[in-house]
Amino acid sequence: MTTPIVPNRGFKPNEEAAKGGTVPLRTTKKVSVIIDRYKGEVEQLIPILQDIQAELHYLPKEALFQVSETISVPISQVFSVATFFKAFSLKPRGKHLVNVCLGTACHVRGAIKILEQVERSLEISPGETSSDLKFTLETVNCMGCCALGPVVKVDTEYFGQMKTDKIDSLLASYE
Ligand code: FES
């Protein structure tokens, strides 16, 4: 069985990444442990990348080269998979993902003010990650629990009827 062939969306691995060496040794070891978990099997490329994403919260380019070399899959194919799936990120992501719902039901209950407060508290805009790599902020259009609006989700936890003055304590409760 071969790994799925997916379109390369124009991403070109850069020379610097090819040299490696900019990623801490412990990261290299973590990636080795993950690859070993799957016995270095070629058809396990996606699960390997999923585990690296879960462990590091993104896919460092150097880790992709490490995967490519270890399981003998062309780097172009590894990058194709890594850039095809939305679940993968090539940019560092925060340990926690904060989603603020801006759907209609949440919007009419003050979701914009909630978002503005989160932006102030984290000093980032949607799509960005805090400098301490603790939080990534995103917005969504509905979380399917409109009656609880305005809703904020942190990782897998939902917080309904959110108020601006609760944001700081909510964020502070995450390590
Ligand atoms: S609009 Fe926010 S949960 Fe549906």
Instruction: Give the DSSP H/E element, type plus range, for residue 64.
Output: helix 61-71
Q: What is the pLDDT of residues 40-85, one digit of tens each?
A: 788 899 999 999 999 998 999 999 999 999 999 999 999 999 999 9
Q: How far is the CA of 108 from the centre of ligand 1 (A)?
A: 10
Q: Determine whether the shortest distance from the Cβ of 114 to ligand 1 is under 6 A.
A: no
Q: What is the pLDDT of residues 10-32, one digit of tens each?
A: 333 333 333 434 566 777 899 99
Average pLDDT over residues 124-153: 95
Burial of 22 (0-12, 13-18, 19+ CB in 10 A): exposed
92 pLDDT higher than 50 = yes
Beta strands in the chain (DSSP E): 96-101, 135-140, 152-154, 157-159
Q: How far is the CA of 104 from the centre of ligand 1 (A)?
A: 7
Tokens encoding 66? 């490490």
Sheet strands side by side (includes 135-140): 135-140, 96-101, 152-154, 157-159
Judged by DSSP in three states, 137 sits in: strand
127 pLDDT higher than 50 = yes
Distance CA 155, CA 97 (A): 5
Q: How far is the CA of 135 from the centre of ligand 1 (A)?
A: 21
The pTM of the full predicted model, rounded to 2 decimals, is 0.71
The 10 Å Cβ neighbour count of residue 107 is 15
Average pLDDT over residues 97-107: 97
Which pLDDT score is estimated for 16? 38
Which pLDDT score is estimated for 22? 54
The 10 Å Cβ neighbour count of residue 88 is 17
